[in-house]
């Protein structure tokens, strides 16, 4: 399926592999439009609501930074052979 603000198209090609597909939506034997002859075309409205962001305290960001640094350090250290593990903070 592909969509934009005007229509939705279904892939009716024999292959669903993107590298084997024809991407010209005007070819009716490869893409079937949802809106068209039997169902009039119309603007598709979004169902999404705008996100609401809130400001978090400085302590939250400090703790988050610490957790990310520890996770990255631990991940890197797990890939390094034991005798070579000297990671400076």
pLDDT for 87 equals 58
| Whether 44 contacts 1, CB under 8 Å | no
- Of residues 85 and 33, the one with the higher pLDDT is 33
| SS3 of residue 33 by DSSP | strand
pLDDT tens digit string along 41-53? 676 677 889 999 9
Place of tokens 């610490």: 66
Residue 85 has pLDDT above 90, yes or no: no
Asked whether the beta carbons of 40 and 67 are under 8 A apart, the reply is no
By three-state DSSP, how is residue 79 classified? Answer: helix
Q: Which pTM was predicted?
A: 0.43
Q: What are residue 11's DSSP bridge partners?
A: 31
- Average confidence (pLDDT) over 22-31: 88
Beta bridge pairs of residue 3: 8
């Amino acid at each position: 399926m592909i969509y934009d603000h005007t229509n939705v198209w279904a892939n009716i090609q024999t292959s669903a592999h993107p590298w084997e597909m024809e991407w010209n939506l005007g070819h009716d034997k490869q893409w079937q439009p949802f809106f068209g002859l039997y169902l009039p075309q119309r603007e598709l409205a979004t169902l999404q609501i705008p996100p609401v962001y809130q400001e978090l305290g400085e302590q939250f960001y400090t703790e988050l930074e610490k957790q990310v640094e520890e996770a990255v350090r631990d991940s890197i250290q797990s890939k390094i052979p034991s005798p070579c593990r000297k990671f400076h903070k």
